[in-house]
Amino acid sequence: MKYYIFYRENDNFDDLLSDTGLKKLFGFQLKWSNYLMLGSDKVSDETYSYLLLKYGDDLKNVENIFINRKPIPFVDYTPDRKRPDKFKNL
């Protein structure tokens, strides 16, 4: 599923939510303080281009909002070299 996050200072997303071209595509909607997250599996390249042209100023990058805190091997920790091979990919 692809997620798109929008941010507006006035917290008004009525035009985006009532857009007939987008309303039927997004089954997942989550709204919090000045943000709106839409999720869908059905977004084509044409729809994504339309989304960028019309609402691109409000679209935010997911990496700037949700920080990846997954540990990095040999940076955050040193893996045990004696670990059995069956557990190496876990």
CATH number at residue 57: 3.30.70
In this structure, are strands 59-60 and 28-32 parallel, antiparallel, or unpaired?
unpaired
* Sequence-ordered list of residues with C-beta below 8 angstroms from that of 35, at least 6 positions apart, any chain: 5, 6, 7, 60, 65
The verdict on residue 6 lying in a domain is: yes
The verdict on residue 90 lying in a domain is: no
The verdict on residue 51 lying in a domain is: yes
The boundaries of the domain holding residue 30 are 2-65
The verdict on residue 60 lying in a domain is: yes
The total domain count for the chain is: 1
Tens of pLDDT along the chain (90 residues) come to 888 999 999 999 999 999 888 888 888 999 999 999 999 988 889 989 999 999 999 999 877 777 888 898 888 888 777 877 777 665
Other CB atoms within 10 Å distance of the CB of residue 28: 13
pTM for the model stands at 0.70
